[in-house]
Amino acid sequence: MKGNLAIVNANVIPMADDKRFSAILVENGDIRALGTDVEIRALAGDYEVVDAQGATVLPGLFDCHVHALMTGMNSLGIDMYNCKDIAEVLSLLREAHATWEPERFLFGKRLDESRLAEGRPPVMAELDEIPRPVLLSDRGGHYVVLNRLAFEALKIDPTLRGVRLDEQGQPNGRLQDEANKVARGIFFDMWPRSQRKEAIKLTAQMAVSKGITTIDAMEGFDGGIDDVRMILDMKDELPFDINVFWLADKVEDAMGLGMDHWVGDLLIDGTIGSRTAAFRDKFSDGDTCGYLNHTDEYVYNVVDTALKNDLCISFHVIGELGILQALEQMEKALKANPEKKDCHRLRLEHFGYPRPEDIERCARLHIPVSTQPSFTYLRGGPHSVYRSRLGEERERKGYSMRRFLDGGLLLGGGSDSDITPMDSLLGIHAAVNPPYPENALTPYEAVRMFTADAARCSFQGDRKGTLEVGKQGDLVLLAEDPMTVPDHIKDIKVLLTVHKGEIVYRG
Residue 103 confidence (pLDDT): 85
Domain covering 70-189, topology: Diaminopimelate Epimerase; Chain A, domain 1 (3.10.310)
Residue 1 confidence (pLDDT): 62
Residue 193 confidence (pLDDT): 87
The CA distance from 355 to 361, in Å, is 10
Residue 189 confidence (pLDDT): 83
- Whole-number CA gyration radius for the chain: 23
Residue 260 confidence (pLDDT): 93
Close Cβ partners of 11 (under 8 Å, ≥ 6 residues apart): 20, 22, 52, 54, 55, 56, 57, 481
Q: Helix/strand/coil (H, E, C) string of 392-417?
A: HHHHHHCCCHHHHHHCCCCEEECCCE
Domain boundaries, the chain: 1-59+465-507, 70-189
The CA distance from 490 to 468, in Å, is 26
Residue 463 burial (10 A CB sphere; 0-12, 13-18, 19+): middle
Q: What is the DSSP letter of 209?
A: T
Count of residues in the chain: 507
Within 13 A of 259's CA, how many CA atoms are on the CB side?
30
Q: Which of 379, 352, 261 is nearest to 313 (CA)?
A: 261
Residue 162 confidence (pLDDT): 93
**pLDDT truncated to tens, each residue of the chain (507 aa)?**
689 999 999 999 999 988 999 999 999 999 999 999 999 999 999 999 999 999 999 999 999 999 999 899 888 889 999 999 999 999 999 999 999 988 889 999 989 998 899 999 999 999 999 999 999 998 878 899 999 999 999 999 999 999 999 999 999 999 998 999 899 889 988 888 888 899 999 999 999 999 999 999 999 876 688 899 999 999 999 999 999 999 988 999 999 999 999 998 999 999 998 899 999 999 999 999 999 999 999 999 999 999 999 999 999 999 999 999 999 999 999 999 999 999 999 999 999 999 999 999 999 999 999 999 999 999 999 999 999 999 999 999 999 999 999 999 999 999 999 889 999 999 999 999 999 999 999 999 999 999 999 999 999 999 999 999 999 999 999 999 999 999 999 999 999 999 999 999 999
Q: What is the DSSP letter of 390?
A: H
Residue 249 confidence (pLDDT): 86
CATH of 1-59+465-507, one of 3.40.630.180, 2.60.40.10, 2.30.40.10, 2.40.30.10: 2.30.40.10
> DSSP per residue over 7-26, as a string?
EESSEE--SSSS--BSEEEE
